[in-house]
Structure 1
Amino acid sequence: MADGKNWRRAGYVGAGAAGLLAGNLALVTGSIVRAAGRTPAAVDDGPDPLLIDPPQLMRSTVAPTGDGTLLHVETSLDLDEHPSDTVLVLVHGWTCSTRFWNPQVNQLAQHWPVIAYDHRGHGLSEMGEKKVSVAMLGQDLEAVLTSTLPAGKRAVLVGHSMGGMAIMSWAAQFGANMADRVAAVVLTSTTARDVVQQQLLTPPTLPRYTEMVKPLVARAFVAAPVPLPSNELTSRLTHYMALGRHARAAHVEFTDELISRGSPRSRAAWGAAMYRLDVAAGLHALSVPTSVVVGSDDLLTPPLHADYMAQVLDHNGVLRDYVTYGGAGHMVPIERSEPYNVLLDDVLKAA
């Protein structure tokens, strides 16, 4: 009889703990939704012409990876014949595609040769059968460079968010004699470690007892394989999570649509992989001039990450510059495309 009582008592305790956990999860999730609702309405000042799909022709091709997965790659038509010895290589972030770089391609591809590709499971790239990992990000970048970077030319690697992680993953694995193939690096809105654990989406005003469930909410946010529609609610959430408080409506709409097009399976797989992110070894391996760029209001990869990367790069003597765009969120290449493009142009000219 005593065993029965103990079993029931354990059941009550377990149910109570589960109920408490569920309640805290709802509290944390609700706080994020309320914070999104309090975000000022996006500024509707008309379309941004830099967001349109580039009118200049690009060559669409594929790069085979080590496991046979085919990655979609876009290159300048005159990539091999272009007089520049420096090639702009654009590496987009999680849930995006090569379209993310429209503002850069529309301005910079007129003067510089460009390579851009979709991460596996993103855009037009295949997902493949192997379990994705942060190491795979670097291996896929190596596959793209091997397939498309013309002999004798060097890349300026520009990575946004997960794209920056891909560059650091690549540097850790393939960074020997880096300067032979890479002239410079630009790390934008990214981090070398703890990307999920140190995001700032959860408002700081929540009770302390919710701290235990914040990691669970963060993990569910990145790793849940659920479809994401594009509507008024998702637009408000996208604005809060990914852009600055006073973002342009055109930028919010473009970002929300871009994210909604992504594969739920791919988003969840890569989100889970990033939960274990640590590419600090690749950050230390960077041996060419490297710029660090961040938005002051970035909640996904807040400036504390950029501070750390800049300190490491400065200590190693390769920090080219550290640029913070006031009021910008996570999507700096979209939100601050004009000054960001000037920065990239300067890096290309100096390479």
Structure 2
Amino acid sequence: MNAENAMNAENAENAMNAMNVTSTGRARLHAEVHGPDDAEAPTIVLVHGWTCQIRFWDPVLRLLTPDHRVVLYDQRGHGRTPATPGACTASALADDLCAVLAAAVPPGRPAVVCGHSMGAMAIVAAAGRPELAERAAALVLCSTGVDRLDPTRGLPLRPRTLRLHALRAMLRTRLPYGPVTPLSRRIVRYVTLGPRGGADPGLVDATTRLVYACPRRVRAEWARAMMDFDLSAGLARLTQPVTIVHGTADRLTPLAHAHRMVLRLPGDPELIEIPGVGHMTPLEDPGQVAKTLRRLAA
């Protein structure tokens, strides 16, 4: 089968497994269900992050679907889910996750829920809600933070902090990023990938395409909202076992965020640090993420 036929076959399969989930504000979320419906292992729910979409999870999905039922959905304004301007809030993130859990996770068979970046924030924002309490048996938070997300807050505009101020401006801008160029690829590589992922030209290309595919207004509105998020109070309300997966070379949400979450979470949370990996943990080391999910599902 050539590449074009393989892509058509994948699109056809995705269409067959697609479902629409209605959330607050009449938001219609595009969701997909993959893997065997009669799988004995718990369902695994994957929630992507800012500027990404369902296809972000493909490397992990391929490792899980032979024997796990996997549910994914596009966040508001990402992928095939239409934007809802003015509703880029932590409450909307929680509403959407809970709507998907209610629609796709059978009662009495709790799932393992894994979020990356903004997707992990959705999990923390949903802490204390009955849908998460009843339908999630374990939680995985990948490459995320719950507060102090603005890297420039409190920093003066000085030469040694100019790079951070430039990063903040790039994340929040409503201007188009323009065409993909060698320079833009280097910027995306620097911001999102660590030494391991950044050394793979194919991964750099795939990550750049993901970021550039996100509509600029959606990208900017979610970035501006997340800079002001403080979800730290939700950590204490997470009653399920929590595993944190974080790259040691993450520039968007540095490892200090993971260490702060460990101190605030109840019980005995697990922290998995992946050396040389940046912010895109499921892309840079899908094997480690899938291995973690399989272990928790078992």
Q: Normalised by the shorter chain, which TM-score bucket?
A: 0.7 to 0.9
**1:267 is the counterpart of 2:219:** yes
Alignment of 1:206-217 (within 5 A): 209-210=158-159, 217=166
List per-residue Cα deviations over 1:34-79 (Å, max 9, x = no partner).
Answer: xxxxxxxxxxxxxxxxxx9995934111111121110110112643
**Rg larger in 1 or in 2?**
1
SS in 2 for 1:294: strand
What SS does structure 2 have at the residue aligned with 1:71?
A: strand
Q: 2:40 — aligned with what?
A: 83
Q: State the partner residue of 2:3.
A: none
Q: 1:136 to 1:209 in 2, by over 3 A?
A: same
Instruction: Write the deviation string for residues 63-108 of structure 1: whole angstroms up to 9, x where unpaired.
Output: 11121110110112643x4333x11000001000001100111110
Contact 1:196 1:275 in 2 (8 A): yes
1:186 alignment partner in structure 2: 140
Following the alignment from structure 2 to structure 1, what is the Cα–Cα distance between the partners of residues 110 and 126? 15
* Other-structure match for 1:236: 186
Cross-structure match for 1:10? none
CA separation of 1:103 and 1:169: change in aligned 2, threshold 3 A = same
Do residues 283 (structure 1) and 235 (structure 2) align? yes
Do the aligned partners of residues 94 and 129 (structure 1) sit closer, same or farther apart at CA in structure 2, a change above 3 Å counting? closer
SS at match of 1:225: coil
**Any conservation in 1 of the 2:139–2:241 contact (CA below 8 Å)?**
yes
Q: CA RMSD in A?
A: 2.5
**1:304-319 maps to which residues of 2 (within 5 A)?**
304-313=256-265, 316-319=266-269
Find the counterpart in structure 1 of residue 117 from structure 2.
161
Distance in structure 2 (CA, Å) of the matches to 1:324 and 1:78? 31
Output the CA distance in 1 between the equivalents of 2:131 and 2:217: 36
Report percent identity of matched pairs: 33
SS at match of 1:62: strand
Specify whether residues 131 and 140 from structure 1 end up closer, same or farther in structure 2 by C-alpha distance, changes over 3 A only.
same
Gaps of at least 5 residues in structure 2 are 1-6
88-97 or 209-218: bigger deviation: 209-218
In 1: Cα distance, 2:104 partner to 2:131 partner: 19
Q: Indicate the larger mover: 329-338 or 210-219.
A: 210-219
- The 3 A distance-change label for structure 1 pair 280 and 123 is same
Unaligned runs of 5+ in 1: 1-51
d(CA) in 2 for partners of 1:74 and 1:276? 30
1:325: which partner in 2?
274
Is 336-345 or 190-199 further displaced after alignment? 190-199
Please point out which of 58, 61, 64 is paired with 2:19.
61
Q: Which residue of 1 aligns with 2:56?
A: 100
TM-score (norm 1): 0.75
Secondary structure of 2:100 counterpart: helix
* Of 290, 301, 306, the match for 2:253: 301
Q: Which residue of 2 aligns with 1:123?
A: 79
SS at match of 1:257: helix
- Alignment-derived partner of residue 30 in structure 2: 72
* Structure-2 separation of matches of 1:194 and 1:184: 25
The count of corresponding residues between Structure 1 and Structure 2 is 285
Residues 1:197 and 2:151 are matched in the alignment: yes
Amino acid aligned to 2:287: E
Written as runs of structure 1 = structure 2, the 5 A alignment for 1:5-20 is none
- Say which SS state the counterpart of residue 67 (structure 1) adopts: helix
Residue 44 of structure 1 aligns with which residue?
none
The residue number in structure 1 matching 2:104 is 148
Compute the displacement of 1:305 (Å). Answer: 0.2
Shift of 1:179: 4.4
- Mapped partners of 1:345, 1:250: distance in 2: 26
Alpha-carbon separation, structure 1, partners of 2:231 and 2:123? 9
